[in-house]
Structure 1
Amino acid sequence: MTDGGVTTVADGGSSGTDTFAGFHRWIVGGSRTRVLCHLNLARIGLTGLLGELRPELVDPEGVARLIREHPDVIVGIKLRLSERITGGPCRPMLELGARVSAETGRPLHVHIGGTAENLTELLPLLSPGDTVTHFQTPQPNGLLDEHGILLPAAREARERGVLFDCGHGMSHFSFAVAEALLGQGFPPDTIGSDLSRRSFADLAPGLLTVMNKWLALGMPLPDVIAATTVAPASALGMSGRIGALRPGVEADLAVLTWEDGEFAYGDAVGGRRVARGRLVPVATVRAGDVR
């Protein structure tokens, strides 16, 4: 990831209590990039099986234990709230996750898109510091109503401190939805790639491609930079340590340049946009070491 200007990654639920030991040893311990973790509420994490958030697979006690044992790595609790993941209503799993969050002091990182319930029912259950990811998803029960209007519950959630993350991924980025949200004064708080084996080919080198898509939609450059630096640092509880350029902050930084030209980008539903320029990486500095 250092070739793409990324110095810190926050994994989105790949590991659960049954798999965290391997994740910690081989991924966290084996990476030059700083790796943090949103631990999946499900024991199996994301092992390629659908439907991990079933009652027989969740492990709230184990999640709480691992958070106590690894507070420097586990920064949140991941819930994939889709009907195909929970096997039915999503609210019970959100309520369970909220209880674990309150007990451990770690925020929720909540995937939307395909929830069984309308988000008007779910968003009020989130607390300040929780994050909703895939906020521009074209999947059913997103942030827009049937008329393309932002749900009042989403604006109310932001006003009380809930964060909204891009979480691009493979099937959750729609230019039309993103434009509608921007047009209604609702940009992402943070811009994440949700990079995975299945999405890497389309997003290579990764986060920079997602940043360039938001620039192509007209999001101002300073806002895009803030949403990939200081804002996620704050969301991860690391303000004052990373995400800024000032004395006393760890020397993690990306050197980028602007390349003029015509660059086409696609989305998950066949939409396309053309940009007249893009950010490209020049160098990455991790803890003062130029990569």
Structure 2
Amino acid sequence: MPIARRTFIAMAGAAALTSHGWAAAPRYDLVIKGGRVIDPARGIDAMLDVAIAGGKIAAMGKTIDPGAAQILDATGKLVTPGLIDIHTHASVDPASAGLMLAEGVTGWIEAGWEGAETVDQGIAAVRAAPQKAAFLLNIGRKGVMTTAGETMDLSLADAAAARAAIAAHRDVIVGVKARLSRSIAGDHDLDVLRRAQQAASAFGLPVMIHIGGTFSPLGQLLDLLKPGDIVTHMYAPPPHAIIGDDGRVIPEAIAARKRCVRFDWGHGTHGHVLWEVAEQAARQGFLPDTVSTDWTIAGDRTGVVNMPTIMSNVLALGVPLDQVVAMATINAARSFTFFKGRGTLAPGAPADVAVLELRQGQFELVDTAGKKRPATCKFFPAATILDGKIAARAA
């Protein structure tokens, strides 16, 4: 029979006991205490405790009595929703998911390493990940090809094969990826993009395009994008960059944003982000909707390609802290319905949390051309909570 709350007897250093000697279950499983909570989805930026129970956010308040719950001390640190990285290549190596988890990433997208003929490896990787993970299918049916561009032969941009693969794995394929650089798609990038749209539109899914060094002017590619589509590597260098010859953001990019096309940082390691382009665009107010890494193990080992560092890059552009956190959390969650209900610390939301340290000091941030910019603060991961449990802590 239910036991009324008044029958519990508080005992220092031990669980409460009823008159029958039964141990009462703690009200919370985990309480994160003393941190600066930033939850842009709800406009929260305050010193608060966060309580977790049953794998969900249970409560938030200035001082929460943890009772018998486990305590995570976040004094001097930021407490944010778990980071969501919408552009990774984490399916390539099984160690990737764990490394990303240690960096605060509680959700990720494999952005097109595999195509219709090679999809099984990617599907297995996202299903095995501890985090919530999904998959963008490369429109090139053989996936990324290291010896030649995957759609240099236009026949490999196979919309019918892509549709069949999506239909077979609809639970985890959440969009289509089209890499459009001239070294990948040759002189038929527009046709590759049209075929990607044919595959994605059959299921109401977004297309993510990889830009930089395209054959066609960027504006022509942007004109083919629909609401919800994503432009990654948005600050790629010329030719055909988001900044025109006049030094202004091209009008097609402004028009695309107005019709709800999303723009993503997409850092990577090979000429995908140039400081000069990012700085020019930022001065004109053309900022990312989302930050992402284009994550690989090799890139991560440089200390550059991880979510806290990419967030630091955006902060160094003068973007307010809450907006940077939004780009890595709620904005990313809203980019794919797969992440519905995540990206926030609202009561009842999945208890995926990143605890970050924003260190003050002298740092250098590096673009993918090797150019450095000084910074006076940088994010570092301190702890990650996944499904209500501490999954990683910094050494």
Bucket of the pairwise TM-score, normalised by the shorter protein: over 0.9
Deviation at 1:174, TM superposition (A): 1.1
Deviation at 1:12, TM superposition (A): 1.2
Deviation at 1:198, TM superposition (A): 4.2
Give the aligned residue type for 1:208. Answer: P
The partner residue of 1:121 within 215, 220, 225 is 220
> Aligned partners of 2:133, 2:105: CA distance in 1, in Å?
11
Give the aligned residue type for 2:255. Answer: E
Give the aligned residue type for 1:216. Answer: A
TM-score, scaled to structure 1:
0.95
Deviation at 1:30, TM superposition (A): 2.8
Deviation at 1:132, TM superposition (A): 0.5
5+ residue gaps, structure 1 = none
Q: Which residue of 2 aligns with 1:281?
A: 381
Give the aligned residue type for 2:134. Answer: L
In the alignment, structure 1 residue 21 sits paired with structure 2 residue 120: yes
- Of Structure 1 and Structure 2, which has the larger fraction of its residues in strand? 2
Show the 5 A alignment for 1:202-217.
202-204=302-304, 206-217=306-317
Q: Which residue of 2 aligns with 1:266?
A: 366
> Aligned partners of 1:142, 1:275: CA distance in 2, in Å?
25
Please say which structure displays the higher CA radius of gyration.
2
In the alignment, structure 1 residue 157 sits paired with structure 2 residue 157: no
Q: Deviations along 1:170-228, whole A, 9 cap, x unmatched?
A: 12111111111111111000101111244223345611111111111211111110001
SS in 2 for 1:280: strand
The partner residue of 1:190 within 275, 286, 290 is 290
Show the 5 A alignment for 1:202-281.
202-204=302-304, 206-238=306-338, 240-281=340-381
Deviation at 1:23, TM superposition (A): 1.8
Give the aligned residue type for 2:281. Answer: L
- Which sits farther off after the overlay, 164-173 or 203-212? 203-212
> Aligned partners of 1:203, 1:173: CA distance in 2, in Å?
16
| Higher RCO (CA-CA < 8 Å; seq separation 6+) | 2
Q: Which residue of 2 aligns with 1:44?
A: 142
Show the 5 A alignment for 1:75-86.
75-86=174-185
Identity of aligned residues (%): 36
Give the aligned residue type for 1:120. Answer: G
Give the aligned residue type for 1:67. Answer: I
TM-score, scaled to structure 2:
0.71
Q: Deviations along 1:134-185, whole A, 9 cap, x unmatched?
A: 0011142111111221100000000001000000111211111111111111
Give the aligned residue type for 2:373. Answer: R
SS in 1 for 2:137: strand
Query: Which segments of structure 1 move beyond 3 Å, counting only runs of 4 or more?
Result: none
In the alignment, structure 1 residue 58 sits paired with structure 2 residue 162: no
Whether contact under 8 Å (2:141, 2:157) holds in the other structure is yes
- Of Structure 1 and Structure 2, which has the larger fraction of its residues in helix? 1
Name the CA shift for 1:141/1:161 in 2 (closer, same or farther; >3 Å): same
Whether contact under 8 Å (1:133, 1:166) holds in the other structure is yes
Q: Which residue of 2 aligns with 1:34?
A: 132
Give the aligned residue type for 2:144. Answer: L
5+ residue gaps, structure 2 = 1-99
Give the aligned residue type for 1:76. Answer: G
> Aligned partners of 1:98, 1:157: CA distance in 2, in Å?
16
Aligned residues: 290
